Structure 1
Amino acid sequence: MSTLDGTPAEGTRGLYPFLDEYEQRTPDIAEAETEARRSAVEKTGEIVRLRRRMGEESAAELAACAGRMAARFASGGRLFSFGNGGSSTDAQEVATAFLHPHRGPALPALSLTDDVAVVTALSNDVGFEVVFSRQLAALGRPGDIAVGLSTSGGSANVVRAFEEAARRDMLTVGLAGGGGGRLTELFELGVLAHLFVVPSSSVHRIQEAQTTLYHVLWELTRHALGPAPIPRMHDPG
């Protein structure tokens, strides 16, 4: 991957630092392939170990969170997900997993980054830190679920969204990385009901582990709901 001026992208260098060495001399193809294979195996081992650790340390909390989410869905609650950048993509996948599952009943879910017009209007007219909280203020209600993702745990708009969700008696579920950042503070204050922190400094490993976490939450929530159909939501009009 290169930037517009043709120089290698910093992100690529971070993923494959050994490539710099090959830029300085004529590469030996076999040696390059061996090093690429070694790097891939190393990264695969890292995420497998990280996922296993999260499973061992968070199993009880995941089950408890899924049980509470199931209870909210069973009572007509809806799920709202949000995040920035790569976490925005994950937020969209969270909503898709619940709303369009490959098996089982569909559950009402919406990613707050889906509506570009709303996100850009709020960013331009008010400020980017309110793009999620303003939507929750308009759409959220007691009994709903707010799921926010942040690799650093420090995204101001994610923090503001959780504060708004807590004021509206929504079930708040956070996914973070590293030390948890500001989301750890919200959890300690009781603003966040559940917080899952991936203990890694690598954004790539954090997001890979978070993908596993929210899919496990979907599986456990579906299991907790059982075969009973989800009640139809009342038309707010």
Structure 2
Amino acid sequence: MIRMRRLAAAALLLFGLGCGALWGVNRWVETASAPYIVAPAYAPEADAVLILGARVYSETRVSPMLHDRLTAGLALYEAGKAPKIIVSGDNGQEEYDEVNAMKTFLIERGVPPEDIFMDHAGFSTYESLYRARAIFGVDRAIVVTQGYHLKRAVYVGRALGVDAYGVASDPRAYAGAERYEAREKLARAKDFVLVHTSRPKPTYLGEPFPITGDGRATHD
């Protein structure tokens, strides 16, 4: 009985320490990224607007969340905040393609194809920000995503050497928002460990496509 009580106490202690560490990492990420999350009018000029991918239903139909990211990113581009747009998402399977849906959305709204760079291997926030610098040579980026996600994206980008600023795209409430928020707390801890320890290479790297060039080179 005494042994069981000791084990239970140890388990509770470890659980408490884990919760404390998770809270501390989340607080750190939120505080460190806050100065760089700005309203669209206050976003600095940058090399590119980086729009992070989200669910799509087909090559011509994006989810509400991604629609709002694309709309906010397009507004920044049209305001002259950056001359190029990077659409970064999951194109790892032939039957699921976030980046071509994003490209189609932007072209239909008047963005010249040469100004759109496609990151087909943005499988995670960490990989999207890593590749923005390693593949596209971005020094400064305006990252666009929902507010709950933006803190981590900006933190990861800056930790990886990108002068990242963030603009939130939250014009409405989203179904499942509570679930996304809860999952994000764990994701922040995971990416915090990655950027401050091993910094693994993304799933794919490949040849560079400088953001100063023609985005059509990335459309294949």
TM-score with structure 2 setting the length? 0.33
Instruction: State the structure with bigger RCO (CA 8 A, min sep 6), 1 or 2.
Output: 2
